[in-house]
Structure 1
Amino acid sequence: MIKVLLVDDEHWNRDMIRTLGEWERLDLQIVGEAGDGIEAVRLTEALKPEIVITDMRMPAADGVELLRILNDRFPEIKAIVISGYDDFNYAKHALKYRAVDYLLKPIDPLELNATLQKCKTELQNSTNPDLEPLDFEFSQRLSGYKQRLRFHFNELNGEAITVVFGQLQQDLHADTGRRKLGRVVQELLLHLKELLTAAMSGAQQQEIKVTPQTISSVEAAVHDVQQYYLQGLDALIQHRKFKNKLNLEEVRQYMEQHFTEPVSLEFLAKVFFVSKEYLSKVFKQEYGLNVTDYILQLRMEKARKWITEDQLPIKTVGEMAGYEDVSYFYRVFKKYFGIAPGEMRKQS
């Protein structure tokens, strides 16, 4: 069990991370919580966490000071930065202390758990210390590439994936040494593994071998990694397309994982290779709800849990449930439950 320490002066931020993390699935355990950097250092010495998730703006010792101390005294610890939009330059300064990744508030559950998986993999595999850390600006751009790759991978769009890699190749040509290129390859292949694990749970995955030739040039690196993505996509298509019948449990699990995204009947029918009429019919027969109502139920039940069990701001709950417009979230919630979010919280 890998030990995790949460550091944030706002308890509801810690509650949000505790709620969104898939701790049991990832074999992680939150062993402590701290409200500032000084307390975090004390708990780090006492509890020996392997992952520290920290906010940046805190009283006493802030996130920058904490990361400096972790980098100097506990270099083996994997640190994840949590940053609000106003903390952008603050986080940029902090990343020089080798934070593994940064997450912008409001936190995307998929990004949080992908980052936790990344930390776990690096801890288990003892990643190559010769790989060069990525600077903040490029890390930000690479995060954008990974988000686009995830979207196109989930929609089974190989042409769009190829376009993304073409743009990435141009970006890498600007200023990339061999060590930095190795880090980019590592990040992208970890990302692919996460995509395949989420999309084909229990299915055998392709073997990925990275040779010295892979990072001999930008062209070679992009070509090899792109081929792994396209091969993985083809494996996913074969996995879904050539079964004897549609696996409704896979459809339901996909909806559970992506309910905050604009998932529709048409989209699901496309990625699972069936007609929307057939999917609509068999899904309702199996679960008693049509696809649209099932997604609404997922969002509302999650929102109710967060409102009644946690102290997250209602605006944050709406964003976590997939509603960028908080006023629209209020209307949908009240229509579904017959009571406004704030009133439900008071009653609970």
Structure 2
Amino acid sequence: MYSVLLVDDEKWIVRSLRAKADWESFGFRIAGEAYNGEDALRRLEEECPDVVLTDIRMPGISGLVLMARARERGIQAEFVVISGYSEFNYVKQALQLGAADYLLKPVDEKELADLLILLKSRLDQAKRTSGLLLASLLQNRLPEEAPLIRDILLRHRLPAQAAELSVICVLRNAREADACGEEAGAGLSLPEVPHLLLKTGRRSTGVLIDRGHLDSVLAALSRSEQRLDGVGVGVRVQSEERLEAAIQTAAWAASSYFLTGVKGGVHVYREPAAEPTELLLRLAHSFKSANSAAISDILNQLKALFREGHSDIRHAVQLYGLVQTLIMRGQAVEEEPQEYSVMEDYAPSYSTLLELFGDAGRMIAFCAKELQSALLLSAPATGAVSHAAMKGIVAYMEEYYADNLSLSSVAERFKLHPNYVSNLFQRELKSTFTKHLMKIRLDHACALLTETELSINAVAERAGYEDYFYFAKIFKKQFGVSPSHYRLNQGLSARL
């Protein structure tokens, strides 16, 4: 909710403005009143309201002078000036000084309501833009951009000194995120304290606050009716350079439920008590030596390490990346530790792991199954579809052949790397994904041509081809005749 300061030298006008709108329903609250320019300027500096509605002509400091002095002092509030018809020249000056808008006396309720809707939209957009700009600045980390970072913080009534900030990451439940939308902070219940929202993922939001408000914000989130998978607090911010690290570690802390299996609660980031490097290295060696029992034992040790909270989400990403590397490179993988840096090529982001598996237990079970299957694949190929994952893929293609299938979409459906699926087709079927899908589709097309009187165009669509001419081209290439001649040869009349 945005704060508003009402300024007029006549108290009855201030009371009238209060009564002319249901301010809270428009997303605003009246933060204070001032009856002269001097008092208004003092309140502006102390309370930093988001919006100021001020009479344009007042004794002493006028609305125009108030605006000018506020701008000189770096105050970023949106000003709306109120004037009579005879004062329109003053309105022009106010607009030149950067006033957001103006209202004419007597203030009309509908005009005020329309103005509040417009202001709310502008302020929301400014917050979104500030969040995106701040995220971009933090990624670049150029020393000369530090003043711009401080300016963004001040604009949102946050401490200009990064050391006075705290960073929280809120990870919403997947269903809740789908219901509320992907906009940063959508549906979050935060107390009335200055803050800035940063979108850090599809369902995660970073919240920058004054460190002094940390406890009240965490308390509000713990009472929230919105289902939250986790709330994380990042490392202490010591400078602008550490702000990005605070945001990242807050996100990792919010993802702790993935490792422990327990959703909800507040997690303060701490450096991992144990590094799984040695276990990951042993896992690679066990795979190379085809030691199934050792693979199972090591994965169980990793699962226990995760559940006891001695690790963080990055190590789950490393494990998944290593498993994908081993599967892709097979038992030819080198034993030297530096060779496993390639695992980053196959490791998803931590947020992708959250979406794919939900928790580390499921991910490790999947890794165990894939590693054992990969060991079976190392045996001489028979040409039969003996691999469990391959059976599932072929069955899936048989059922959904008419959909817009691709190697990537099918691999994602089975939580496999596309290159790995491609290798499965080569090893198990001596074919490619594209050729096998075409075979399935054309077999079904042949059945439709001989068993139904559907038009050729309808047959193409049911077989998964939106383009009739492309269908006719590959059909003739495969069978030597057009679809219509194929039907005629089978004794049915061709219908286009």
TM-score, normalised with respect to structure 1: 0.35
Q: Higher relative CO (CA 8 A, sep ≥ 6), structure 1 or 2?
A: 1
Higher helix share: 1
Indicate the structure (1 or 2) with the bigger Cα radius of gyration.
2
TM-score, normalised with respect to structure 2: 0.25
